[in-house]
Amino acid sequence: MLCCFTFIHACRLQKLEKDAVKYWNNFYKNNTNHFFKDRHYLHREIPEISQISNYCKERGLPSPVLLEVGSGVGNAIFPLIEDVPYLKVKTMDCSRYAVEEVLKKSPQYSPNWCEAHVCDIATQEFVRYRPYVDNTDV
């Protein structure tokens, strides 16, 4: 009995992993930006983000760049940029729908402070973005 359960479980797991991007695209098509709550607490939970940003601003240095992997539709970056306006953000998510149809079309999105890309970090595709990732501060 355990062997049969393990086999079924392993097959289901393999299918979920293989089709993960498809499932995330469907999830965001159905929920857009209404499922996850905006994370208005990040600047308090990670005060270093505000500290680095303030340090750079006070000294006339370029804005620090934060990398968010798995950005979804921006529930973390939009509130964060309200609280830490000197920050620049690079985001990536595996869901093309989340990035192209929701995040980039949000009235809060601006290419002046945010670069958003579709990238599945669980694949070799991530290697292409290595220079992009290396040029971040946080």
In a domain, 57, yes or no: yes
Segments forming the whole domain that contains residue 93 = 20-134
Two tokens, residue 57: 């601003």
Q: Is residue 66 part of a domain?
A: yes
Whole-Å CA distances, 61 to 24, 52, 53, 89, 131: 38, 10, 9, 16, 21
Q: Is the pLDDT of residue 84 over 80?
A: yes
**Residue 1, pLDDT score:** 45
Query: What's the domain count of the chain?
Result: 1
* Residue 122 is assigned to a structural domain of this protein: yes
Contact (Cβ atoms closer than 8 angstroms) between residue 53 and residue 84? yes
Q: Answer yes or no: is 84 within a domain.
A: yes
The pLDDT tens digits of the residues spanning 28-41 come to 889 888 888 889 89
Residue 94: which residues within 8 A CB-CB, separation 6 or more?
A: 20, 21, 24, 70, 118, 119, 120, 121, 122
In terms of pTM, does the model score above 0.75? yes
